[in-house]
Chain A
Amino acid sequence: MERSHADIEQAIQRTLKENTARAILKLTEIFGSIFSRDQFLEALEISGFNVDDTAAYLQDRLPSEKKEANESKTKPEDQIDLILQESSLNIVNTENTVEGPKTGNLALEFSLSPIYINSEVPVFYIVDEILKEIFSFFSAGERARLSSVCKTWKMIDQTTGYLYKRDCHDLWVKTSRPQGNIFFYPFNNDIELWGEEYPKNYTDSPEFCKSFKNWRNMWVKRPKIRFHGVYISRIAYFRQGQVNLDNLPSYHKVVFYRYLRFYSDFSVCCINTVKKPREYVRLVDKSNAECRLGEWGRSGNRVVMHLLAKNEIFTYQLDLKSSPGYYFDLLKLVKVQSRSAHNQEYSDLNINNDAWPKWFKFLPIR
């Protein structure tokens, strides 16, 4: 009788261990991708699971190779690793699962509440009102991007249309009608530089603005100059050099870049350099000694830009164009005029050769 008692007790112990192991396996499946490993172990300990026992149980059932490989290491941590690895077979990358993402804390908060365990609902526990406040810290582009994360965020983006008003204001109201002449030298007033129609013709008509119906639409479709990056053009052409020793003509390949950066205070800087964009875009700034300063204005799709050279002024006319999927990220060079600082006469420059840029492409700076 005593012997059978002991048998039953053993059987019960084994069943318990089995159950615990199964429970841990199940929990790992659910939480493996959310918790980091340490957090998971801590949670197990708190809820009274005997991790060591389970590990021993599992180790008995593991393939012999693994057992041999791990016999030398007897630390409980390694055994736990085994459990986690064993249980996360259905998750592709085992290493990632064991390590866990570093910041999963926000998600934890919800997954701990019973509704969210093992459910397909997004696990984001911030009240919508607060989420709206968080969204107000983002620019329009960033918000649009976040809205495709999940349905809740999409809803938040759709209900925060008033934020687009702020963004539109930043882009256009401040910048549609330059007041005063920041480009003071060598002219004293706006009319000398811009002509008499200025600034009336350099702002969008109220009818045009109303045609956008809502702020969001306006932010997307109204022509705009972007301020958070640089417009770049790459210019490459062959130049004939001196006749060489064999009495044959030689050619040089000339490659340089032209960088344009616009500012919301209607100044613009332009740099010609041979340096490549990857290393140079961050240096394009008004404080750069090589840059040529100027002033810009926009009417509709047309951007007019006056650049100051040593003794003359170059007037560029550029068109805002869109590439597929983007809005107004290209500038097409239409016309260039020059005039000396002393007389008011314009002379057109021939831009139909390779030495002039045709297109400028926008590149954002982070």
Chain B
Amino acid sequence: MSEITLVSKEGTKIQISSQFSNLSGFIHNILQDYQQNEDISLASVSFINLQMILEYAVHHNFQVPQPPRCPITSPNIADNVSDPWDAEFVNRLNEDQIIDLVTATNFLDMKSLMDLCLAKIACMFKYKDIETLRKEYGITEEFTAEIEEKLKSDFPWAMEAESND
């Protein structure tokens, strides 16, 4: 079992088992023509994110875990993932860190961890009404009153969802 060396944005080096290619498409592609002792530089992944990604990979033993439930059924992330460790892992991050991590995993093509983060973000939106969302995320009123009325009359079932799921 060989080891590869990853270099973060800041230039910090990290040793990791080459099994990491199971989780990351990016690493998998690079390993196709990989010279021994060659450093793999990850230009858009910071050291903190890299550490978190490694923690995740080591916990799951470099195997792709079961994806989160889709569509999600509850605003609590713990109900939507099979492994409680996953829920704890994302719950200790704040929104900025999650977005950061999503960008990093997107670069590494790590579907499993990205899905986990996105499910967490989806959980933040779940069951919130439109006005709350607009207020929380600083989205200004874009639709004029007429357009909004038209939306409501065109898609009454969109408003129906406010009372449903």
Chain B residue with Cβ nearest A135: B122
Do A109 and B160 form a contact, CB below 8 Å, given A33-B138, A137-B119, A148-B130?
Answer: no
When each residue 144-165 of chain B gets 1 if its CB lies under 8 Å from chain A and 0 otherwise, what string results? 0000100100011111111111
Interface centre among A105, A108, A121, by most chain B C-beta atoms within 10 angstroms, is A105
Interface residue A144 (Cβ < 8 Å from any Cβ of B): yes
Give bound CA distance, A325 to B154, whole Å. 10
Which residues of A sit under 8 angstroms from B164, Cβ to Cβ?
141, 226, 228-229, 364
Give bound CA distance, A229 to B142, whole Å. 33
Report whether A107 and B151 are in contact in the complex, using a CB–CB cutoff of 8 Å.
Answer: no
Give bound CA distance, A137 to B114, whole Å. 12
Give bound CA distance, A138 to B119, whole Å. 9
Q: Which of these, B135, B136, B157, B165, contacts A366 with CB under 8 Å?
A: B165
- Interface members, chain A 131-151 (any B CB < 8 Å): 133-139, 141-142, 144-151
Report whether B160 and A142 are in contact in the complex, using a CB–CB cutoff of 8 Å.
Answer: no
Category for how many chain B residues contact A: 35 or more
Report whether A139 and B165 are in contact in the complex, using a CB–CB cutoff of 8 Å.
Answer: yes
Which residues of A sit under 8 angstroms from B96, Cβ to Cβ?
105-106, 108-109
Interface of chain A, helix or strand or loop or mixed?
loop
Give bound CA distance, A124 to B156, whole Å. 26
Q: Which of these, A130, A151, A325, A329, contacts B159 with CB under 8 Å?
A: A325
Report whether A107 and B137 are in contact in the complex, using a CB–CB cutoff of 8 Å.
Answer: yes
Chain A residue with Cβ nearest B121: A134
- Interface members, chain B 117-132 (any A CB < 8 Å): 118-119, 121-122, 124-127, 129-130
Do A123 and B160 form a contact, CB below 8 Å, given A137-B70, A137-B118, A142-B165?
Answer: no
Chain A residue total in the interface (Cβ 8 A): 48
Interface residue B40 (Cβ < 8 Å from any Cβ of A): no
Which residues of A sit under 8 angstroms from B163, Cβ to Cβ?
364
Which residues of A sit under 8 angstroms from B72, Cβ to Cβ?
137-138
Do A325 and B156 form a contact, CB below 8 Å, given A130-B102, A138-B71, A229-B164?
Answer: yes
Chain B residue with Cβ nearest A132: B118
Give bound CA distance, A105 to B138, whole Å. 10
Chain A residue with Cβ nearest B156: A325
Q: Which residues of B contact A (CB under 8 A)?
A: 68, 70-72, 94-96, 99, 102, 106, 114-115, 118-119, 121-122, 124-127, 129-130, 133-140, 142-143, 148, 151, 155-165
